[in-house]
Amino acid sequence: MQGPAFQLVIKNQLHLLFVLLSRTFLPEQVSGRTNEHHSFNRERFKPLLEYMENHFDDKMTIESAARSVSLNPYHFCKTFKKLTGRTFIDYVNLCRVNEAERLLLETDFTVTEIAGRVACDNPNYFTKLYKQYKGITPSGVRK
């Protein structure tokens, strides 16, 4: 004869078995899918990122960037942040500031000319942006 809580004990043991099985096998399947998805997105975004790094002077919108990888703007922004660790605007600004740094170090262009070359129409905003990313003003780099 079975005790009064026999069915509860069996259910509990089955639950424990399922928990152990899911802890053992499910993480591998989930991480495999995540890595595949991440790798797919990395390849999907690669041409866009290369374009952004080489055409920092283009005024690209989130909508046009999202269209280029066949995503709506919301999912584009989420995926872009997961892949790069930065927002789209932050990444664009970083590309522009990096190019500005190169121009400051390798050319004799004025700060205003460099601001124009990296698509920052307002030299004061450019100086503020540069300082935010590099911790020093563009004219400070030249000194």
Give the alpha-carbon dihedral of 89, 95, 100, 106, to 10 degrees.
180
For the chain, give every domain's residue range: 44-143
Query: Residue 61's pLDDT is what?
Result: 94
Query: Residue 39's pLDDT is what?
Result: 72
Query: Residue 29's pLDDT is what?
Result: 52
Query: Residue 1's pLDDT is what?
Result: 57
Query: 126, 98 in Cβ contact below 8 A?
Result: no
Query: Residue 99's pLDDT is what?
Result: 94
Query: 74, 134 in Cβ contact below 8 A?
Result: no
Query: Residue 17's pLDDT is what?
Result: 78
Query: Residue 35's pLDDT is what?
Result: 58
> Does the domain at residues 44-143 carry the CATH identifier 1.10.1040.10?
no
Name, in order, each residue with C-beta under 8 angstroms of 44's C-beta and a sequence gap of 6 or more: 69
Walking along the chain (143 residues) 10 residues at a time, the average pLDDT comes out as 74 79 64 58 90 88 95 95 93 94 95 95 95 95 84
Is the full-model pTM beyond 0.85? Answer: no
Amino acid occupying residue 5: A
Query: Residue 38's pLDDT is what?
Result: 60
